[in-house]
Structures are given as C-alpha cells and as structure tokens.
Amino acid sequence: METLLIIDDDVGLLENLQMHFEEILQDGAPRYHVVTATNAAAGLKAAQEAMPGVVILDMMLPDRSGLEIIEEMKTLCGDARIILVTAHHDMETTIRAMKAGAFDYIHKPFPEPAALDLVVDRALEYRQLSRRAASMSVENAAARLGDIVGTSPLMQQLVKEIGKVTSSRATVLINGESGTGKELFARVIHNYSYDEAKPFIGINCSAIVDTLLESELFGHEKGSFTGATATKQGKFELAEDGTVFLDEIGDMSLMLQSKLLRVLQEREFERVGGVKRIKLRARVIAATHRNLSEEVAAGRFREDLYQRLKVITLRIPPLRERREDIPLLVHHLLERINEKVHKRVTRVPPEVLAHLTRLPWRGNVRELENVLTRAVVLAPGEVLLGDDLPALEPGPAEPGAPTPVALLAAPQVDDASQIPTLEEAERMLIQRAMAVTKGHKGKVCQILGISRPTLERKLQKYGLTQSVPSSLGGQG
C-alpha cells in the first residue's frame, strides 16, 4: 500500500480527493493510504510521520506557499514525488516549481479523475525506477543462469536446488569459501524468483563499520545522529518487494544480529531515530564463508538467528572439488576478460589447460579470473601462454605421504622388453596410489592431478574397483 499525502486548504476538495483515492483498489485491497493536511505546518509534520510516496501540494496555503516548502518536504520524506497544484496559470511559477524539484505542476480545476490518477501513477513508477537505478550499477548487472558455469555432478545438484528455491520466498543461507561466487548465485536465485524486474539490494556486512551498518540496513531519520542531515532510507526499505542480499553475515556484530533477528521474526523495522514501523516486504538471502555452526558454538553468532537464516542452505563447492569444470570456466572467463581489456586471446593449448586444472586455486573462481586477466594482458597474440601462469604449488602433504615422483621411482632397467606400455604404467601408478593412500580417492586425485570422474572411469577400466591392493609390487 502506498501512502499519499494531500495538502490543500480547500476542505471540500480535500475530502473529495481523499474519498477518490481511498476507493482505488489493487489486487482486491486499497492501493493508497491517504493522509491530509490543510496548511504548510501540518503538511510538513504529516510528511515526516507518514513518509509518503507522493505528495499533492497546493501552491497557495494559509501560512506559506507550496513553492517555499518543497525543499523541506524533500528533506523530510526522502524520494517522495511532489505534485504542485494551483488555480493560477503562471508560466514563471511553473518554471520555478519544476526547477525546485517538483515532479509535475497541474492546474485547478482538475481534469477528469483518471487524468490525476495517471499523474500519481507516473510519479510512483518514476520513484521505483529511480530507487532501482540508484541501487544498481554496471558491475551489478543482472546475473543469468548461464553465468553459472559447470557440468560437474556437484554443480548439477546445486542448480537443481536453486530451481527449487526460486519457487518460494523463504530465507536462504549461502555458504562457500571466498571467491566461489556467492553473490552470483544469490542474483540467479533473485532473477529466477520473479516474472518481472525487482530490486536486488546487496550489502557487505564486513565492509562497513558497525555504527554505520545499522543505518545502511534500516535507514535513519534526520538528526538521529551527528551527520544525519536528512532522512535516509535503508537497504531493507529500498529493496521493496525484491531481495536484500546480506554478504558475509558471519562478520555481523552480536548487537546487530539481535536487531536483524527481530526484523526477520516480526517482518517490521524502524529507521534509526524513528518510531514508525515499516513493513519488510523483501526476501532475505544471506551468505558467509564462515562455518556458522562453529561460530554459534564459539559464542560469536546467535543460534536463534542461525536457525532463522538456514531455512534453506546452499553450499557452493570450492573449485578444487570440481576441477572438471575448470576448462569450461577458462573459456567462459576469457570471453568476459577479452571484452573488458579489448584483446582477443581465444586459444588455450592443452598443456596450459591441464596446468590450470592442476593448480590449487585457494582463491577459487575469483583467483582463476585474476590469473587469466593477467595472462591475457601479457599475451602477445591470441594464444594464452603458460609462461604467464603461476607455478604449480603442491598442497600441504601429510607426514609420510608419497609424492608423484616417489610413486614413479623404479629400478633402472636396460632391457627394453621390461618397460611397460603406457596403459600398464597407468594401471600400476593408479594401483600404487590407491595402496599408499589406503583407497582415499580424493588424495589419489590430488596426487595424480586428475578429476574424480576420470579416476572412477580408470578404476573401472583396469578392474581396480573391487579391492585396494596391499602391495606396491607387481601389476596385479
């Protein structure tokens, strides 16, 4: 329901307009909550208390002119659109009104009610578009499902879960390491949850000091603290009936956690320094790289808030758990990077792709994109060069764990007939790796630099799925 403030000293006209707008329905319910005032002082007070979306303001009021109070009105009620009305046809006043920031300037007597309705509708529509434009930038362009790249089983399962999530408005908690693309997944959930464009308002809870974060989330009233020179709407209010994305919520202070819990429970909030209750219409999606259950156990995160947030939990797998997706990601990211840096590096040699697949990627997709950007910038032609990529660093090995070199070590032989074929050597190497890791397939993949599906296929091919060999010798 939108709040409409009408300020006019003509009581008869005021009553007619109030009755007209209160009778307008939307989806079976009143579309407008109408507040009225008969002079400038009462109008300014009503604007501060009601926070209207549109103000219909008479030019000639008993105590002050409408033109005089436009600036005060805009300060009190933020981005409300102000429609000035007058019985006098004065070109100069029209220009001054529009220059002062009036949305429109119309004359009495009003034309048919439908014409006035149209002006109010346009004012509200413009206000919504303005809010969305202010909250979104080029970098925050809408994410498509095609931006999620990967055909690995883990990614296929994740996409299925996202499909189920988009059919509800339930709160979602996204968990994943830094660089896995948590905001990207939140945007995909948002975009596929609505048939029409809705605001997506994101805020990084770890990037703003605690004293300012409350104001960013809930907004503040003029004069509520030093520097609050005007009323400001918070992220929850700007999101309207779209989505609020709380990134790195695990870094939020316990005090703000308590306030957020109350908002999620009551679906209402107040601005800092305010008393008016504002409905929370937006869906909340939170994300964190922390293990919140461990944070709860350590007393750094409220358990009741954790339970409220994890209605639906999605885990974004790190890149090392889906190495088979890296080739697809490389080509996808190269398209974006080439467009950004104005180059055409499109060819990736197989050995370079293999090297990229084996890197540890502790920074996940973000690190991969940064590495590729550097390589593209330095590449002299259309081929991605391995010289511009980081060296392959082995991950931390357990005490006594074998290295690939140790696995390959064998007594030198002079008889060529004793050298195994490539398939025989591959079978023996996999068999040895399975033995020394006691059948731990994840460690085998790390040692051999292959993906889990590739290992499974080779185990099946060489008949090594039944048992783990107990000896390193022989070809079994």
Q: What is the pLDDT of residues 209-244, one digit of tens each?
A: 877 899 999 999 888 888 888 888 899 999 988 999
pLDDT top residue among 386 and 410: 386
CATH, domain 2-135, list 3.20.20.10, 2.40.50.100, 3.40.50.2300, 3.40.50.1970: 3.40.50.2300
Binned at pLDDT 50, 70 and 90, residue 473 comes out as very low
- Overall average pLDDT of the 53-78 stretch: 88
Q: Rounded CA gap, 164 and 2, in Å?
A: 32
Q: Is the pLDDT confidence value at 420 over 80? A: no
Give the fold, CATH level 3, of 139-317.
Rossmann fold (3.40.50)
- Overall average pLDDT of the 112-131 stretch: 80
- Residue 472's pLDDT is 37
Please tell me the CATH code under which domain 404-461 is placed: 1.10.10
pLDDT top residue among 95 and 85: 85
- Residue 409's pLDDT is 54
Helix orientation angle between 210-218 and 254-266, rounded to the nearest 10 degrees:
10
Q: Answer whether 179's CB lies under 8 Å from 317's CB.
A: no
First and final C-alpha spacing in the chain: 75
pLDDT top residue among 56 and 440: 56
- Residue 74's pLDDT is 83
Which of 161-175, 256-270, 384-398 has the least mean pLDDT? 384-398
- Residue 126's pLDDT is 79
Q: Where are the domains of the chain?
A: 2-135, 139-317, 320-388, 404-461
- Residue 464's pLDDT is 79
Report field, pTM of the whole predicted structure over 0.75: no
- Overall average pLDDT of the 49-64 stretch: 90
Matching fold, domains 2-135 and 139-317: yes
Q: Is the pLDDT confidence value at 399 over 70? A: no
Assigned token pair, 276: 């008016």
Determine the residue type at 219: G
Q: Is the pLDDT confidence value at 306 over 80? A: yes
Architecture of domain 320-388: Orthogonal Bundle (1.10)
State how far the alpha carbon of 360 is from the alpha carbons of 97, 356, 357, 440, in Å.
62, 9, 8, 18
Mean pLDDT of all residues in the chain? 84
